[in-house]
Amino acid sequence: MTSDVTSLFHPGQHLLRELDFTGEEWRDLLELSAQLKAAKEEHREVQYMRGLNIALLFAKTSTRTRCSFEVAAADQGAHTVYLDPSGSQMGHKESVEDTARVLGRIFDGIEYRGDLQDHVDTLAARSGVPVFNGLTDDWHPTQMLADTLTMREHSHGRPDGEISYAYVGDARFNTGRSLLVNGAILGMDVRIVAPRALWPAEDVIAAARGRAAESGARITVTEDTAAVEGADFVHTDIWVSMGEPKEVWAQRIELLHDYRVDEDLMALAGPEAKFMHCLPAYHDLGTEVGRRIHERFGLEGIEVSDEVFEGPRSIVFDQAANRMPTIKAAMVSALGRV
């Protein structure tokens, strides 16, 4: 690891939402991610978190987020305690404020993954220790670090300002909102492509445009799928989010059937475009949800076709793997000891 890695540390910094960061701070996390990833691959990792304890508070379950936090902490010599949706009293017999004050006196840092942004904000305000947002309905900052590291790696050294990406699908929630803001902070060319009813909220678009004015980013929010033309990367996400009732599937498919990422849409992006998805993806009949949708609507791949997902331009598993070094960077930056 390079000798100046600790210059990228920001002690005590929470990771709650992208808008809390300056462009320099966000780039520091990405640079630290790349350095920590290289250090592990080259068997020269330094443990900056030895002896620390991290609470993993999951109101929503996850494969990538949990595994990334646990492996990242173990690599760095820290210990984790996993609290699943039934593993704490938060919101049931104990308030979020009281849970924050308890956990903050036992742990050195807290990860939270759940519905409400207010919960992760309260944990940060009341615990006294760094808090890391593993996902809320509003924001997904750990995913953005992984996505951006992946796009950088597949852009072969081009600066952020020369990278373009499109997000196609339901853009109202965490992934669409965060991709919009992430690119705005870094000066990228960001296109949000969705039916108007599924655009990010106006205040989010306004905030992104404000950050774009500072960074030189190009922001497009449109219903027209032609906006993917020339994009380096095409992102999508599932069409029905965790916690939404199954009854909304028919409505969502009606709204989004023209926004499915298939070979035609990828061809519109161009022959060099890469496909990205934060996962899990309904791309085949290998899931219970996928089979139910196939039986009811005849789709054998919902937000993305299996041909695209399994094709040579898909980099979704590079993207998934990058959750670990980027989450490691967030923790090391906030908690690392020299």
- The string of DSSP letters for 42-111 reads TT----SSTT-EEEEEESS--SHHHHHHHHHHHHTT-EEEEE-TTSS-BTTTB-HHHHHHHHHHH-SEEE
Q: Which of 64, 140, 277, 283 is catalytic?
A: 140
Same domain, 165 and 304: yes
Q: Give the burial string for 155-172 (b: 16+ CB within 10 Å, else e).
A: beeeebeebbbbbbbbbb
Q: Which of 35, 143, 172, 277 is catalytic?
A: 143
CA–CA dist 115, 113 (Å, integer) = 7
- Of 237, 252, 277, 319, the catalytic one is 237
In a domain, 148, yes or no: no
Let me know if residue 46 belongs to a domain: yes
The answer to whether residue 323 is catalytic is yes
Catalytic site includes residue 278: yes
- For residue 274, with 0-12 CB atoms within 10 Å meaning exposed, 13-18 middle and 19 or more buried, which class applies? buried
- pLDDT tens string 125-148: 999 999 999 999 999 999 999 999
43 is catalytic: no
Residue 189 annotated among the catalytic residues of the structure: no
Same domain, residue pair 169 and 284: yes
Q: Examine residue 149 and state whether it is found in any structural domain, yes or no.
A: no
Inside any domain, residue 35: yes
Q: Give residue 243's pLDDT.
A: 67
Burial of 244 (0-12, 13-18, 19+ CB in 10 A): middle
Residues 102, 233, single domain; the answer is no
Asked about 140 being catalytic, the answer comes back as yes
Domain assignment present for 146: no
329 three-class SS? helix
Q: What is the CATH number of the domain that holds 9?
A: 3.40.50.1370
User: Is pLDDT at 56 greater than 60 in this prediction?
Assistant: yes
In terms of domains, do 327 and 198 share one?
Answer: no
Mean of pLDDT values over 92-115: 95
Is residue 196 one of the residues assigned to a domain? yes
How does the average pLDDT of the chain come out, rounded? 95
The active-site residue out of 14, 278, 283, 319 is 278
Judge whether 126 counts as a catalytic residue: no
Total structural domains within the chain: 2
Domain around 111:
5-139+323-335
Same domain, 121 and 160: no
161 and 304 in a common domain: yes
Same domain, 104 and 44: yes
Cα–Cα distance, 96 to 119 (Å, whole number): 7
Domain co-membership, 124 together with 25? yes
pLDDT at 1 over 90: no
> What are the helix and strand counts (H, E) for the chain?
13, 9
Whether 13 is covered by a domain: the verdict is yes
Q: pLDDT tens digit string along 242-265?
A: 667 878 999 999 999 999 999 999
